[in-house]
A and B are shown apart, each in its own frame.
Chain A
Amino acid sequence: MTAIGKVSLQDAVLQRGRSRERSRLLVFNHVVLLALTAFAIVPLLVLAFNSVKTNLEIGQNPLGPPINIVTDNFPNAWAKGHFATTMGNSIIYVVATIAAELVFGGLAAYALARKRPPGSDALMLYFLVASTIPLWMYIVPLFVQINALKRIGIDARLLLIMVYVAGNAPLTIFLLRSYMIDLPSELEDAARVDGANEFQVLTRIVIPLTMPGFLTVGLVVGLGVWNEFLLALTFIHDPNQYPVTTSFYKFVDRFDRDWALTSAGAVIIIFPVMVLFLALQRQFINGLAEGGIKT
C-alpha cells in the first residue's frame, strides 16, 4: 500500500517537473513558430496592403497597413495587364499540361512499375538525371528547334505545352512509379482473372488506388506551369497567347515603379494558386508521405 503510494507520489513529482518543462518548451516553440511565421507572411502582407493603397500613400507609408483602402488598383491592373486574356491562357496551359502529364506519365510509370520491359533500369537512370536538369540549361538549342517546328505550322501554344510536359515528365514518372510499386499486385491480377484488359486494369484499379500520388504530382506540375515565365517569354510571341506571369513581368517593365498596380497584379496572380494550395495542402503532404521519395 505504502509502496504504491510512494511510487505514485514520485510519479506526481516527476510529472509536475515534466509538465513545467513541457510548458516552457511550448512557449519556446510558439515564439520560434511566430518568428518564422512572420518571415513567411510579412512579404505577402506587404503585397496585400500595397495592393489597396494609392501610389501616393505607398510613397508615404510603404509598408504599414493601408489608411484609406482603395479598390481601383485591381480593375486597373486587370485591364492594363490584359489579365482577361492571360488568365485564360494560363488556365489552358496549366490544365492541358497537367492532363497530358498525368496521362503520359501515368502510362510510362505503370509500364516501369509493373511490366519492367528490358531497358527499364537504363530509362530510370535517364529520368533521374533528366529530372535535375532545368529546361533553361538547354534553352538555346531548344529555341532553334521550336522555331523550326513553328515554321512547319505547329501552334506555339501546343509547343509550349509539350515543352512543359517533357520538362516535368522525369520527376512525374519517378514519383508515380514509386506509388504504383507500393500497390499490392494481387488486386490487378484478380481484375485480369475477371477478364479485364491492360487498359481497364490501369483505369479501374491502379489509377483510383494511387489517386493521392496523381493529385500531388498534378499540384506540383500545375504550380510550376502557373509560375513559369522564362520559357513562355522565349517561345510565345503573340501577346494574345501570353500567360499571367508575362503580364506581371511586363508590368514591372512598362509601368516602372507603379507599386500599387504591380502589387495588385501580383495579388491577382498569387490568389488563385494560394487558395488551391491551401485547399489541397493536407492531401499534398499525405501524398508525399505515402510514397513520394522512394527510388
Chain B
Amino acid sequence: MRVSRQFIPYLFLAPALLLLIVFNLVPTIATLVESTFVLSLRSGERVFAGFANYNRIFNDPVFWKSFQVTIVFSLLVNPIQIFLALCLSILINQKLPGIGLFRSIYLLPIAVSLNVTAIVWGLMLDQNSGMINGILTQWGIARQPFLHSVDQALWSIIVIASWIGVPLWSLFILAGLQNIPPPVLEAAKIDGASAWQSFTKITLPLLRRVLAFVLVADTVANFLMFAPILLLTNGGPQLSTNLIMYETYRRGFLYGDLGASSAMLSVMLVIVFIIIGVELYLLRGQD
C-alpha cells in the first residue's frame, strides 16, 4: 500500500512525460546527434564526422552573415517591442472612458495567425498597390520598396513581427500591472510622489518578475523568428532578412544538407540555453 502510494505522483506525470520523451526529447537529441554526421559522397551513406559540420558552418560566410542579421534584428526588435508593450500596457491599464473598447481592439492581433498576418502586411507594404505607399504618395513622399529593399526589408519584418508581438507581451505586462495593489500607489500619491516617481520607484520594481519573463520569452521567440521570412522574403533581398532559423531551413530542406542544418540548430540550442540561464538568474535575483 505504502509503495503504491509513492508511485501515484509518477502515475500522474506518466502520460505527459511519455509524450514529451517521444515527441520532444528524442527528436531534440536526434538533432544533436545528426549534427555530427555527414552524407558520404562515395557511398551515399551517413558517416560519423565529429565536428566536421561545425567546422564547415563556422567557416561559412553565409552562416556568419545570417548570424549577424539575427543579432542586429534581435538588438532592434526586442527593445522596441518591450518598450512599446510596457507603454501600451500602462496606457490600457488606466481607467479612462471607453478604455475597454480600446483594450479589445488593441489586443485583437494576438488572435490572428502569423501566416495571415504576413500575407496582409505583404499586401499593405506592396510597392505599387500597397496602402502604406498610397499614404506616402499623398504626403508627397516617393514610393518605397519596403520588402524588396536591402535597407528596408529587415525593418519591415520588425514592424510585422511587432504587430503581434507588442500586444502579446503587453497582455502579460498588463496582467502584472493589475496585480499591483491600488493602495500602494495611492499611498505614494498621498506622500507627494509624482507620477514618474511612483512609476520608477513602485511600478517598475513590482513588474520585475513579469518583465524578466517577457524579456526572455520575447528574446527567444524573436531569435527563432521564421514564418514571415518563409512567406514574404525567403531571406532576401541579398540575404538581408536571412535570419538564422530560416538559414537552417534553407540548408536542411531546400539544399538537403542536414548535417550543416543540424549543426546550426545545435548552436542555436546552446544560445537558447544561455538565454534561459540568464532568465533563471534574473528570476532568482530578487528573493
Interface residues of A (CB under 8 A from B): 26, 29-30, 32-33, 36-37, 39-44, 46-47, 59, 62-63, 103-105, 107-108, 110-112, 115-117, 123, 126, 128-130, 132-134, 136-142, 144-145, 162-163, 165-167, 169-170, 173, 198, 223, 226-227, 229-230, 245, 248-249, 252, 259, 262, 266, 269-270, 273-274, 276-278, 281, 284-286, 288-289, 292-295
CB-CB contacts below 8 Å: B2-30 with A = 6, 8-10, 12-13, 15-17, 19-20, 22-28, 30
Contacts beyond the supplied A129-B272, A166-B20: 8 A-B pairs with Cβ under 8 Å: A36-B91, A40-B109, A46-B123, A47-B116, A227-B115, A276-B111, A278-B108, A281-B104
**A37 is contacted by which of B6, B28, B102 (Cβ under 8 Å)?**
B102
Contact A40 B115 (CB under 8 A): no
Q: Is B158 an interface residue (CB 8 A)?
A: no
> With an 8 A cutoff between CB atoms, is B96 at the interface?
yes
The interface residues of chain A lying within 8 Å CB-to-CB of B105 are 37, 40-41
Q: How far is the CA of A262 from the CA of B119 in the complex (A)?
A: 9
User: Given the complex, which residues of B lie within 8 Å of A29, measured CB to CB?
Assistant: 91, 94, 96
Q: How many A-B residue pairs have CB under 8 A?
A: 228
Q: Which 8 A-B pairs have the closest CB atoms?
A: A227-B113, A141-B30, A288-B175, A115-B9, A166-B23, A111-B12, A138-B27, A141-B27
**A52 to B221 Cα, complex, angstroms:** 35
With A and B bound together, what is the CA distance between A158 and B99 in angstroms?
43
How many whole Å from B112's CB to the nearest CB in chain A? 6
Which residues of chain B are within 8 angstroms of A227 by Cβ–Cβ distance? 112-115
| B54 at the binding interface (Cβ < 8 Å) | no
Give every chain B residue within 8 A of A112 (Cβ-Cβ): 13
Q: Of the 9-residue stretches B42-50, B74-82, B261-269, which lies at the interface with chain A?
A: B261-269
- Verify if B31 is at the interface (C-beta below 8 Å from A): yes
Interface 9-residue window, one of B55-63, B64-72, B143-151, B209-217: B209-217
The stretch among B166-174, B196-204, B235-243 that forms the contact with chain A is B166-174
Please measure, in the bound complex, the distance between the C-alpha atom of A162 and the C-alpha atom of B234, giving whole angstroms: 30
Residues from chain B with a CB closer than 8 A to the CB of A292 are: 172, 175
- Whether the Cβ atoms of B13 and A123 lie closer than 8 Å is yes
User: CA of A105 to CA of B92 in the docked complex: distance in angstroms?
Assistant: 32
Asked if B161 is an interface residue, CB under 8 A from chain A, the answer is no
Cβ 8 A contact of A137, one of B8, B13, B265:
B265
Closest beta carbon of chain A to B4's beta carbon, Å: 11
* Chain A residues whose CB sits within 8 angstroms of the CB of B96 once the complex forms: 26, 29-30
Q: How far is the CB of A14 from chain B (nearest CB, A)?
A: 11
Main SS at interface, chain B: helix
Q: Does B34 contact A (CB under 8 A)?
A: yes
Point out the residue from B17, B31, B176 that lies within 8 Å of A141, measured CB to CB. Answer: B31
- CB neighbours (8 Å) of B233 from chain A are none
A273 to B175, CA, bound (A): 21
A40-B105, A62-B129, A141-B31 in contact; A266/B175 too (CB < 8 A)?
Answer: no
Query: What residues of chain B lie closer than 8 Å to A111, measured between beta carbons?
Result: 8-10, 12-13
The DSSP consensus for interface residues of chain A is helix
Residue B224, interface by CB 8 Å: yes
A138 vs B272: C-alpha distance when bound (angstroms):
14
- B152 lies within 8 A of chain A by Cβ: no
Q: Which residues of B contact A139 (CB under 8 A)?
A: 27
Q: Are B10 and A117 in contact (CB under 8 A)?
A: yes
B120 in the interface, Cβ–Cβ < 8 Å?
yes
Which residues of B from 257 to 287 have beta carbons under 8 Å from A?
A: 258, 261-262, 265, 268-269, 272-273, 275-276, 280, 283
| Interface members, chain B 93-130 (any A CB < 8 Å) | 94, 96, 102-117, 119-121, 123-124, 129-130
Q: Which residues of B contact A223 (CB under 8 A)?
A: 110-111
Partner of A289, one of B20, B167, B178: B178
Q: By the criterion CB–CB under 8 Å, are B261 and A140 in contact?
A: yes
Contacts of A141 in B (CB 8 A): 26-28, 30-31, 34
CB distance from A235 to the nearest CB of B (A): 11
B84 smallest CB distance to A (angstroms) = 8
**CB of B193 within 8 Å of the partner chain:** no
> What residue of chain A has the Cβ atom nearest to residue B10's Cβ?
A117
Q: Within 8 Å CB of B119, what residues of A? A: 248, 252, 262, 266
Given known pairs A140-B262, A277-B111, A289-B178, the reply for A132 and B272 (CB within 8 Å) is: yes
| B188, CB-defined interface residue at 8 Å | no
Q: What's the Cα separation between A294 and B175 when bound, in Å? A: 12
Contact A117 B124 (CB under 8 A): no
Q: Which residues of the partner chain B approach A276 to less than 8 Å between Cβ atoms?
A: 111
Q: How many angstroms between the C-alpha atoms of A40 and B94 in the bound complex? A: 19
Whether A145 lies near B27 (C-beta < 8 A) is yes
- Provide the bound-state CA to CA distance between A242 and B151, in Å: 38
Minimum distance in angstroms from B145 CB to a CB of chain A: 17
Task: Contact check, B108 vs A40: say whether CB atoms are below 8 A apart.
Answer: yes
Q: A105-B16, A115-B12, A270-B112 in contact; A132/B217 too (CB < 8 A)?
A: yes
Contacts of A138 in B (CB 8 A): 24, 27-28, 30-31, 265
Pairwise interchain contact B115-A245, C-beta atoms closer than 8 A: yes
